[in-house]
Amino acid sequence: PDVDAFVRGFLAPAYRREVSPRGESRWDLEWWHHPEAVARLEALHLAWEALRLEGATGMSVWWRDHADYHLAVLMGPTGPFARTSATTESGEPLPCAPRPAATTTTTGAAS
Give the pLDDT confidence of 29-87 residue by residue, as tens digits.
999 999 999 999 999 999 999 999 998 999 999 999 999 999 999 999 999 999 988 88
- Name the pTM for this structure: 0.87
Angle, in degrees to the nearest 10, between helices 35-51 and 68-75:
160
Asked if residue 56 belongs to a domain, the reply is yes
pLDDT band, very low/low/confident/very high, at 89 (cuts 50, 70, 90)? confident
Asked if residue 104 belongs to a domain, the reply is no
Asked if residue 100 belongs to a domain, the reply is no
Element counts in the chain: helices (H) and strands (E): 5, 0
Query: If residue 3 lies in a helix (H) or strand (E), which one and from where to where?
Result: helix 3-6
Asked if residue 41 belongs to a domain, the reply is yes
Asked if residue 82 belongs to a domain, the reply is no
**Which structural domain, as residue segments, surrounds residue 14?**
3-75
